[in-house]
Structure 1
Amino acid sequence: MKKNQWLRLGLLALATTIALPAVAQRKGKAKSKVATVVAKPKAGHYLIQGTAPAEANGKWVYLYTNSGTALDSVKVVGGKFHFERPVGGDGIVANLIVPRSFSLSFIPEEGVIKAPLEAEAATGTPLNDIRAQKVKEEIALSSGVKEKLMKLRSDKTLSDQQKEEGMEKVVKEYYAQILPGVLADLKAHRDDALGYYALQTLLAQEDIDLAKAEGYLKEVSESLRNEETIVKQVERLRRLEATKPGAQFVDFDGVDDASKPVSLSCYVGKGHYVLVDFWASWCGPCRREIAHLKKVRDAYTDKGLVILGAVVWDKMEDHLQAMKDLEITWPQIFNDKDATDLYGIAGIPQLILFDPSGKIVARDLRGDMVNAQLDEILKTTGGKL
Structure 2
Amino acid sequence: LVKEKVEFAKNTIRENRDDERFLKVLDIYVRNFLSLDEFEAELKMFSFQVQKTEACQRYFEFIKYARINTPGKQCIDFEMKGHDGKTIKFSDVYKKHKLVLIDFWASWCGACRATMPSIKKMYEVYHEKGVEVVSVSLDDNKEAWEKAYKEENIPWIDGSNLLGWKDPVTLWYAIRGIPHKVLVDQHGIIIDSGFYQLGSLEQKIDEYLHSHKN
Please tell me whether the aligned partners of residues 278 and 311 of structure 1 are also in contact (alpha carbons under 8 angstroms): yes
Aligned counterparts of 1:376 and 1:201: Cα–Cα separation in 2: 36
Aligned counterparts of 1:206 and 1:197: Cα–Cα separation in 2: 15
| Closer, same or farther: CA 207–381 of 1 in aligned 2, 3 Å | farther
Residue in 2 that maps onto 1:249? 75
Q: In percent, how many aligned pairs have the same letter?
A: 26
**Cα offset for 1:277?**
0.4
| Closer, same or farther: CA 286–194 of 1 in aligned 2, 3 Å | closer
Please tell me whether the aligned partners of residues 43 and 56 of structure 2 are also in contact (alpha carbons under 8 angstroms): no
**Cα offset for 1:253?**
1.3
**Cα offset for 1:201?**
4.3
Note the residue ranges of structure 1 that are not aligned, 5 or more in a row: 1-172
> Which structure ranks higher in relative contact order (CA pairs < 8 Å, sequence separation ≥ 6)?
2
1:208 matched to 2:35? The reply is yes
| Closer, same or farther: CA 207–370 of 1 in aligned 2, 3 Å | farther
What SS does the corresponding residue of 1:358 show, helix, strand or coil?
A: coil
- Which structure: greater helix fraction? 2
Aligned counterparts of 1:218 and 1:225: Cα–Cα separation in 2: 7
Residue in 1 that maps onto 2:189? 359
Larger radius of gyration: 1
**Cα offset for 1:324?**
1.4
TM-score normalised by the chain length of structure 2: 0.87
Aligned counterparts of 2:54 and 2:78: Cα–Cα separation in 1: 25
5 Å matches for 1:330-341? Answer: 330-335=156-161, 336=163, 337-341=167-171
Aligned counterparts of 2:30 and 2:80: Cα–Cα separation in 1: 30
Cα deviations by residue, 1:73-120 (Å, 9 ceiling, x for unpaired): xxxxxxxxxxxxxxxxxxxxxxxxxxxxxxxxxxxxxxxxxxxxxxxx
Residue in 1 that maps onto 2:204? 373
Residue in 2 that maps onto 1:89? none
**Cα offset for 1:237?**
1.8
Of 65, 76, 83, which residue of structure 2 is paired with 1:239? 65
Aligned counterparts of 1:215 and 1:193: Cα–Cα separation in 2: 16
What SS does the corresponding residue of 2:94 show, helix, strand or coil?
A: coil
Aligned counterparts of 1:319 and 1:192: Cα–Cα separation in 2: 39
Please tell me whether the aligned partners of residues 311 and 332 of structure 1 are also in contact (alpha carbons under 8 angstroms): yes
5 Å matches for 1:186-205? Answer: 186-192=13-19, 195-201=22-28, 204-205=31-32
| Closer, same or farther: CA 249–203 of 1 in aligned 2, 3 Å | farther
CA RMSD in angstroms comes to 2.2
Residue in 2 that maps onto 1:329? 155
